[in-house]
């Protein structure tokens, strides 16, 4: 079977199996737009609080003064996208999901893996795995809301291996989620206590694939096309979900697709990388205003200039980042990048396939 291939998740048919994972502070509509242009087959919004959505519902999908509406915004060129909710109370997940009708998502994902304390202290995120029965009720509530309000779009869930090494219960949680109606399980095979440290255990992904009747998506330590190819072969997972490996590197999608289909891929030039970053800045500014976008983009530019396998670092990147983190306007960013000879004057950003 071809490693790069179409995938069906419940009623949703996707052209390929390379996904962008939800990542708070990074996968807003602007970055998802860039990734969609690059060739990501599917992406999820940043995690959205069910409680925040219910307590402060947006007036419309274009209500850019509402922070929840900003998180929910579909990216340009996103033919398919999923919305990820977090919460621990089934009834509130149901209520929140019912409010998503105007956004017309193609899938609804439940966050069962976030390790951040402000999420887990509410019983949500990876804390859901400490109560598998409630995790099942949360998924069932989302499935019910999908059926009644959202056109029966697939409900999925992203989990970890467990809370800690003494409670590795991904298999139980995944089984319960699937029985509750989840159409896909995404597994980041680290525990909550690991956070993002140590090594992810891909054997957990392979084990889950052997147990479940629904597609399993693998995540964790995917930083290059070679990593992607190895995970698909070693685990047999149906799809890949790039997280940190895609930050500042949307090119990982066309590179991986090329590697899986032809056995090779081309490196990305510093000019192409900075052009993509600048395009992301402009998209962010159109959605949240120039001042806020420029401040938010500082960390994004740091990611774009850092480099990685298949995406070499930019010469003099440290000095360049020292200037970029002080930029406050689009013109300021452009001046810095053109002055460094990386962004041609008057260039239009884009992704080279």
Question: Among all residues, which ones are annotated catalytic?
Answer: 114
Nearest to 105 by CA among 146, 57, 54, 47: 146
Beta bridge partners of 242: 20
Q: Could you tell me if residue 44 is left (phi over 0), alpha (psi between -120 and 50 degrees) or otherwise beta?
A: beta
**CA 7 distance to own-chain centroid:** 17
How are beta strands 12-14 and 7-9 bridged, if at all? antiparallel
Identify which of 319, 246, 244, 317 has the alpha carbon closest to the alpha carbon of residue 276: 246
DSSP 8-state symbol, 77: T
Count Cα atoms within 13 angstroms, Cβ side, for 108.
Answer: 32
Residues linked to residue 32 through DSSP beta bridges, in sequence order: none
Counts of helices then strands in the chain (DSSP H, E):
14, 11
DSSP structural state of residue 127: G
Tell me if residue 239 falls in helix, strand or coil. Answer: strand
**Residue 185 belongs to what H/E stretch?**
strand 184-191
């Amino acid at each position: 079977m071809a490693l790069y291939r179409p995938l069906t998740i419940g009623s949703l048919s996707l052209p390929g199996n390379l996904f962008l994972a939800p990542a708070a502070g990074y996968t807003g509509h602007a970055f998802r737009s860039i990734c969609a242009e690059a060739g990501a087959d599917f992406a999820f919004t940043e995690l959205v609080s069910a409680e925040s959505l219910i307590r402060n519902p947006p007036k419309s999908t274009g209500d850019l003064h509402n922070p929840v509406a900003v998180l929910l915004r579909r990216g340009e060129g996103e033919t398919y996208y999923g919305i990820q909710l977090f919460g621990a109370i089934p009834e509130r997940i149901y209520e929140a999901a019912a409010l998503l009708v105007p956004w017309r998502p193609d899938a609804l994902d439940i966050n069962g893996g976030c390790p951040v304390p402000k999420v887990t202290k509410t019983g949500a995120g990876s804390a859901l795995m400490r109560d598998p029965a409630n995790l099942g009720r949360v998924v069932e509530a989302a499935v019910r809301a999908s059926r009644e309000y959202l056109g029966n779009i697939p409900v999925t869930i992203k989990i970890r291996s467990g809370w800690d090494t003494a409670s590795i219960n991904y298999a139980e949680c995944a089984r319960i989620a699937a029985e509750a109606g989840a159409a896909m399980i995404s597994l980041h095979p680290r525990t909550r206590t690991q956070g993002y440290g140590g090594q992810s255990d891909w054997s957990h992904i392979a084990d889950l694939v052997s147990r479940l009747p629904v597609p399993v998506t693998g995540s964790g330590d995917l930083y290059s096309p070679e990593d992607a190819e190895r995970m698909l072969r070693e685990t047999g997972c149906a799809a890949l979900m790039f997280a940190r490996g895609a930050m500042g590197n949307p090119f990982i999608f066309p590179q991986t697709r090329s590697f899986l289909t032809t056995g090779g891929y081309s490196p990305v030039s510093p000019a192409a990388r900075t052009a993509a970053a600048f395009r992301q800045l402009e998209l962010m500014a159109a959605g949240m205003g120039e001042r806020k976008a420029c401040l938010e983009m500082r960390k994004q530019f740091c990611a774009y200039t850092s480099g990685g396998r298949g995406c070499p670092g930019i010469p003099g990147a440290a000095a360049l980042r020292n200037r970029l983190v002080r930029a406050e306007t689009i013109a300021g960013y452009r001046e810095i990048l053109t002055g460094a000879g990386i962004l041609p004057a008057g260039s239009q950003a884009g992704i080279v396939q």
